[in-house]
Amino acid sequence: MSPRLAIKIDVDTLEGYLRGVPALLEVLADFEVRASFFLALGPDNSGKAVFRVFRHQGFLAKMLRTRAPAIYGIKTMLYGTLLKAPLIGAAAPEILPRIAAQGHEVGLHGYDHVRWHDHLFDLTREGVAREISLAQETFTALLGWPARSFAAPGWQCSRESREALAARGFLYASDTRGRAPYFPRFGERVLPMLEIPTTLQTLDELLGLDGCLPQDFTRLVFKRLEASSPQVLTVHAEMEGGPFLREFANLLHQGRDLGVEFFRLEDWARELLLNPQDLPVSRVESIRLPGRAGRVSGQGPREGRSPW
């Protein structure tokens, strides 16, 4: 059996949407790889992320280590503060249909990425539901059908956010960091919507950490691949679709030479849900990851099998 790797592409900003997505589509087409795109479609408030300096340990160091201002651009760094926050989806309505037409999965990455990332746990249940509804309404207007999958901005999820997604009929979510697919437990309640976590560290986490170069990161990805355990790699349209596009192409090239099977998360979710009773339950915990500022939602220890 060949090693399996899902490419999950998060699109956080207008720059990633307008520049990164088209560049990634070209490279994916060159290697005949289908990926899973998750897009934030509301206002690009990236400039407000600067306030994480006061809230998230390691944020400033990460921004300097990854040369974030050069990667994201000055305009992006000012959106929502000195510059008006532009609406991402409305800026180029032809992009979502183009992604879908090339056979890629298209899902939601929230509406206001910064609001969800930084303030999810401050939002009311109604506020969370409104973020999802606004994103889904924009998505449906652009594509003609609702999104079936959701990936939380900044890997931030809560019981309220998962309940809101389940109520809207999403097939699965990719909200956490972890080891393998599971049904999430919050407190005493196990929620019935499948979670497929990101299993590998990301380029922006490891770049420059202990001298890590882009090519070193690619080698680390392939060291983690095993035939018996599919892996999920999250890439960002602003990074792998920008200054690190060549290394992303190199990753796909090496993967093809090694016989890696690339797959879409939605296809895996449907495969897994044929036998939900075989999937584990894990508590969702707040964890820290090397190279990432602040905390993320992560998969805790296995707690038995699914009740479904």
**74 token code pair:** 């000055």
pLDDT band at 193 (very low <50, low <70, confident <90, very high): very high
Q: What is the Rg, in whole angstroms, of the alpha carbon atoms belonging to the chain?
A: 18
Q: Classify residue 305 by burial, with Cβ atoms within 10 Å: 0-12, 13-18, 19+.
A: middle
Query: Which of 165, 149, 13, 23 shows the shortest CA–CA distance to 89?
Result: 13
Bridge partners (DSSP) of residue 172 are 149, 194
CA triple 9-12-13, angle to 5 deg: 125
Structural domains of the chain ordered from first start: 4-305 (3.20.20.370)
Q: Is the pLDDT of residue 283 over 90?
A: yes
Residue 118: count of CB within 10 angstroms of its CB: 21
3-class DSSP state for residue 102? coil
pTM of the complete model: 0.94
Other Cβ atoms less than 10 A from the Cβ of 69: the count is 12
Q: How far apart are CA 297 and CA 76, in angstroms?
A: 26
What's the pLDDT at 304? 85
Q: Where are the alpha helices (DSSP H) in 155-213?
A: 159-167, 203-206
**pLDDT, mean of residues 124-133:** 97
* Tens digit of each residue's pLDDT (9 = 90 or more) over 56-92: 555 545 555 566 566 777 788 789 898 999 999 999 9
pLDDT at 53: 41
